[in-house]
Amino acid sequence: MSTHTKFSRRQTLGLLGGASAGLFSLSMPAIAQGQAGRVVVVGGGFGGATAAKYIKRGNPKLQVTLVEPAKRFYTCPFTNLHFGGLRTFEQQGHGYDELRALGVQVVHELAKDVDNKKKTVTLAGGRTLNYDKLVLSPGIDIRWGALAGYDEAASQLAPHAWQAGPQTHLLKKQLDSMADGGLFILSAPANPFRCPPGPYERISMVAHYFKTKKPKSKILVLDAKDAFSKQGLFQDGWKKFYGEMVEWVPLAKDGKVVKVDAKNLEVETEFGKKHKAAVLNIVPPQKAGAIADRAGVTDSSGWVPIKPQTFESAQVADIYVVGDATAAAPMPKSGFVANAQAKVAAANILASFSGKPAPQPAWLNTCYSLIAPDYGISVANVYAVTDGKLAEIKDTGGVSPRQASDDFRKLEAQYGVAWYNAIAQDSWGTRAG
């Protein structure tokens, strides 16, 4: 069983078991015969909430437990619009009542540890949950210290605001109290990181805020890359709406920040140039959420390798991992993709419990960004497994046309909001405010 690539042992059992259960009933695990089983999902974001919902919907007899410390989950997507003054923070909050109504047991505790041999999850309060299948959707953790000078204490002065919550409020407060004419610096990381267009949408929304409230202010983007998501569209939009307010410095022009002095709101780039900010936003290097390490599913990259067909961990059986924590390139680390991956994992988990063949996977991504009110852009892609690897399907997807009417941009801005409402409903069952 060690050399084949496309089919895991579980899938093989599924295929054979579904067609001829009688023949194999002795050697098959009990759960493959349709008897109800136990699923634990760790993480209540786009990936985890979707997995819990679709597994419970797919087979209400399964015991599905969702472990998420927050009673109300705030999404990173659309919090940039909060910086632009276009949405309240609360509009990005989602509760778990609908999942409970569906029969999902929601436990508001931190998952502290996973024993992948005993197949248990230990909660911070000491309780232990047994699982037959585990879904991890832990999102990202910050690699504290990977960028010299940027540790947890530094983030209290120079926020990352890359996980929605107190960090979002801190950055908003700093922007609100900044004097007109100040310099906002955003340091953008090298790939891979959560939400590839995110730093550039944030720039757009801060620029909108400055334009309306603090028009003498400037924005400097120091980037550890030479190219970024939807780059042409963003740069066109910045010029159109914000003129010379935004300056983007790529890696090749000494854009890479190598040292942060949070006390002085100062950064130093590769070639020793220092920049002092009025408000400093560091989007730091990242890795998979800590529980993935505890479960033994991360590799030396800090991210989680997965079997492309199923999103089961490539390293540990019966643990499925979805969302930003995975190494799933060319898929981006987006909420949309986390939701789509979770549905594929859910379908595989359902099939394995019922002894049915593993379904053909399918994913897509659509990601909207707002450059100004009524001016939205998007990128889309359709994915498949090609030669055993995740790949974009040729000649599909792509970004919004570079030349487009204002009506087109306005439609995409409206579709962005409609998308957010739809995916919130699809993931948590909630309606955004």
Partner 1 sequence: MPFFRFSVQAGIGLGLMLAAATAAQAQSPEDIAVLAGPCANCHGTDGRSPGGIPSIAGRPANVLSAQLKAYKAETPPPGTTIMNRLVKGYSDAQLDALAQHFAQIKPTPAAAKGKK
Interface contacts to partner 1, rule CB under 8 A: 1, 3-7, 12, 15-16, 18-20, 23, 54, 336, 339-340, 343-344, 347, 351, 356-357, 359-364, 366, 378, 380-382, 384, 393, 395-398, 400, 408, 411-412, 414-415, 417-419, 421-423, 425-426, 429, 431
Q: 191 or 421, CB closer to partner 1? A: 421
Q: Tell the smallest beta-carbon distance from residue 426 to partner 1 (Å).
A: 5
Cβ neighbours of 275 (radius 10 Å): 17
Q: 124 or 393, CB closer to partner 1? A: 393
Q: 110 or 391, CB closer to partner 1? A: 391
**In the beta sheet, which residues pair with residue 390?**
385
Distance, in Å, from the CA atom of 177 to the CA atom of 185, rounded to the nearest integer, reads 15
Phi, psi (deg, nearest 5) at residue 169: -65, -40
Q: Tell the smallest beta-carbon distance from residue 410 to partner 1 (Å).
A: 10
CA of 267: how far to CAs of 201, 261, 279, 301, in Å?
22, 6, 11, 26
Residue 380 CA, chain-centre distance (Å), reads: 16
Q: 329 or 393, CB closer to partner 1? A: 393
Phi, psi (deg, nearest 5) at residue 89: -65, -40
Residue 127 CA, chain-centre distance (Å), reads: 28
CA dihedral (169, 173, 174, 180) positive or negative:
positive
Q: Is the Cβ–Cβ distance between 370 and 84 less than 8 Å?
A: yes
Q: Tell the smallest beta-carbon distance from residue 371 to partner 1 (Å).
A: 15
Q: Tell the smallest beta-carbon distance from residue 112 to partner 1 (Å).
A: 31
Q: Tell the smallest beta-carbon distance from residue 32 to partner 1 (Å).
A: 15
Q: Tell the smallest beta-carbon distance from residue 34 to partner 1 (Å).
A: 15
**88, containing H or E segment:** none
Q: Tell the smallest beta-carbon distance from residue 22 to partner 1 (Å).
A: 11
Q: 189 or 198, CB closer to partner 1? A: 198
- Of 111, 108, 107, 102, the closest CA to residue 53 belongs to 102
* The pairing of beta strand 257-261 with beta strand 266-269: antiparallel
Q: 130 or 425, CB closer to partner 1? A: 425
Q: 249 or 432, CB closer to partner 1? A: 432
